Structure 1
Amino acid sequence: MVVRFDVDAYLPESGKVSTIPSDPVDAQLEKLLHGLSITPAPQATPEASIPSVCEVRGGAYIPQNCIMELMARNQKNASFQWSETYPQLFFSQTPHFYLAVQTGGNFTALKRKNLQDQDVRNVGSGHQGDFRKLLIALEGIQKAMIESGQEGRCTLVHEGGELKVFNRLAQDSCLPQEVLTRFK
């Protein structure tokens, strides 16, 4: 399985939320976002007929305990459901979460949360049954993949409320060969 997630921003190396000064909310967000840049992805050449994975080296290593998720809500629709966001933060192990509330383009509130906060951990406790089911499903998928062998191909199908694993006859892959060789 190939798994990925994205990161919105990161805190300074110390990883401590308390390093952010207690300025007005707009100034806090500006300081958090200062230095971020967006660069276009490398353009694929027209002659490339198969998908490829391109590694672009740059930036710096950011420790896991410094990454954060940013989310903004309009004051009119500022309701936020932790139960919907918690699994994403848990599986990516994104420790810091910032929710900014804006009215008329101006940020009026900034709420900070950490995966280790007690109220956040309480939300996580409510997901434990779902996480156990996911673990059982992933173990079943892993077992099926091991049984199909190194060159085996499987397809997952959700049918009638049940997740089924089927062996595929075709040996083609959605990943280029150079990526597959990394896992052999």
Structure 2
Amino acid sequence: MRGRRGYRSGGRPHRGSLAREMLTLRPPQFQIGTPLAGGRNIRENVSDILQTITLSEDEPGYDEEYVPSIINTQVIASYSWTDAEEPTILVPGALPVWQERSLPFSVPRDQGIQFIDQNAHRSELHPVLPLILSIRHISPRFDYGKINIITDRNGLRKLMSWAGKTATEPCEDFRIDVDVVGKDKNSTVLLTRWEARNHEEQRYGYGHNFLSAVTSEHWGCKGATSYSRILQYDFAGLTLLVRYSADAALTPTERSATASARADSDLDHLATQIASLNIGTSSKTATPSNNKTNSIEVIPTKHELSPQSSTIEIKSRTTRSYETFDWPHTLPQLFLSQTPYLYIGIHRQGYFERVVKHSMPISLRWDAKGKAAGDVIRADADMQKALDSAKHALKDLGRLLERLREIALEYARTQSEGFRMVLLCESGKLSLYRRSSEDKLPREVYDAFN
């Protein structure tokens, strides 16, 4: 195993657990036996219930035939965390590159500690801050006023799991913290990921070592422990800013998907405010620790943003588990990040004999009315079947996001400044509560949005 970063797990065909969009720490920083932080209570800092959220097909305006799609996808920014002693990100980050290896080959079983949420581990008080800082570095004039919702892909997957629930197979419990930035009808709803633990010990699978074996690090990002990518796209009438962790790219060619000049906006003040945060460079390296300050060092790189059409999700499955591959779990992961390729390494106890490659439809061109003008990448039969099965859940995800935004904006408008909320799903029941915990961004960033 090469001594470098690992990314999300893919070693076993786990069902459901959306908490596990994981990233692995490089040895020897963590080893098996390292004490792990105790799990938090899902109801910590939760007080009064505000509203229970339901969806009904009897609601006015419900269209049984309408299924929302994702259009106008743009790659806005990217960054990579490092193992520096002080929380440090490389901006832009760079995706590892897929390498076609001769088959078969073997890799050892995964071991050590893997991240569940690296952003919360390294920036505990403000896990959304690296998203803002990376955008500030790449697009200082970025117009947040056009963004309706800022979220992690993981949050969208959890909401979609609730939207697609059934009475016999309810979704897992989850929590998403909810905040509103801005004070008018164009305010942005911020959905922040919450996990009981931010890292855990690996006890199964070969997915991380398989990923290391079939990708190579991009120049200039040695020592990076992750790669996070930020997309902007339109879905169900809303404009979303979505952060997710990506595995690899097809080619090393780096060309910005958003290289055209953006129009000047009224948010120069935002760039000024964010620039006042502690941003610099660092050459220290050490075992990372939880960060409870506003400080995140930013190291500029010379990378540009690789096109979305080159991105790959990489997983591993045993020969037996691939026969019952969990498409309902995987399809949202691909669709909600507009990742066009899924590569699955098939193995027997770490002995990889083949790689199965799937593709899903990604539209990168639109007409004047915002409708897809042509598919750049088309779906294979398995992917298309999964997409067809997900239509109901996608429809209800769009309705849920619209409903959640309306409710959050209404409470933010009528309550005192700094009103904080939390969305809880418990035993399939989805409710909004009042939250007493801290802001998810430094106050100066909130003020800049205002």
What TM-score results when the alignment is normalised by the length of structure 2? 0.32
Q: Does 1:154 align with 2:404?
A: no
- Displacement of 1:26: 5.1
Q: Does residue 143 of the first structure (1) align with residue 368 of the second (2)?
A: no
Amino acid aligned to 1:88: Q
> How many residues are treated as equivalent by the alignment?
169
User: 1:17 maps to what in 2?
Assistant: none
By how many angstroms is 1:139 displaced? 1.0
Counterpart position of 2:339? 94
Change (3 A) 1:156 1:30: closer
- Counterpart CA distance in 1 for 2:343 and 2:95 is 10
Structure 1 residues 89 and 153: alpha-carbon distance in aligned structure 2, compared to 1, 3 A threshold: same
**CA displacement, residues 41-98 of structure 1 (integer Å, 9 cap, x when unaligned):** 676998x643655545434311111111111123354332222200110001111110
Is 1:25 the counterpart of 2:103? The answer is: yes
| 1:101 shift after superposition | 1.0
Matched, 1:127 2:390: yes
Contact 2:358 2:380 in 1 (8 A): no
Distance 2:288 2:320 in 1: 45
Amino acid at match of 1:110: V
State the percentage of identical aligned residues. 21
1:121: Cα distance to partner?
2.0
Give the distance between the partners of 1:85 and 1:45, measured in 2 at CA. 30
Secondary structure, counterpart of 1:92 in structure 2: coil
Pick aligned residue for 1:50 from 287, 293, 318: 293
**AA in 2 matched with 1:165:** L
On the 8 A contact 1:10/1:68 being kept in 2, the answer is: no
Distance 1:78 1:34 in 2: 25
Tell me, in whole angstroms, the C-alpha distance in 2 between the residues paired with 1:156 and 1:146: 14
Shift of the 8–105 alpha-carbon distance from structure 1 to 2, 3 Å rule, reads farther
Normalized per residue, the structure richer in strand is 2
Asked if 1:82 is matched to 2:264, the reply is: no
Q: Of 190, 198, 223, which residue of structure 2 is paired with 1:39?
A: 223
2:336 matches 1:108: no
Within the alignment, does 1:164 sit opposite 2:242 as a pair? no
Cα distance between partner residues in 2 of 1:67 and 1:181: 35
Q: CA RMSD in A?
A: 3.8
Shift of 1:175: 2.9
1:146: Cα distance to partner? 1.5
Name the stretch that deviates more: 83-92 or 56-65: 56-65
Seen in structure 2, the aligned counterparts of structure 1 residues 70 and 8 have a Cα distance that, compared at 3 Å, is farther
Give the unaligned 5+ runs of structure 2. Answer: 1-20, 24-93, 106-210, 226-284, 362-378
Q: Secondary structure at the match of 2:431?
A: strand
Match of 2:146 in 1: none
State the one-letter code of the partner of 1:99.
I
Question: In the alignment, which residue of structure 2 is the partner of 1:173?
Answer: 439
Give the Å deviation of 1:33: 1.3
1:144-181: CA deviation from partner (whole Å, max 9, x where unpaired): 2221137432221225633222344x473133335545
Residue 404 of structure 2 aligns to a residue whose secondary structure is: helix
CA contact (8 A) 1:70 1:98 kept: yes
Aligned-partner residue type, residue 66 of structure 1:
S
Q: Is the Cα contact below 8 Å between 2:346 and 2:352 reproduced in 1?
A: yes
| Structure 1 residue runs of 4 or more that deviate by more than 6 Å after TM superposition | 4-8, 42-46
Partners of 1:73 and 1:83 lie apart in 2 by 16
In structure 1, list runs of 5 or more residues that go unmatched.
12-19
- The CA distance in 2 between the partners of 1:10 and 1:180, in whole Å, is 37
Query: 1:44 and 1:30 mapped to 2: Cα distance?
Result: 21
Task: Supply the AA of the counterpart residue of 2:223.
Answer: T
Matched residue, 1:60: 304
Alpha carbons of structure 1 residues 67 and 179: separation in structure 2 relative to 1, 3 Å: farther
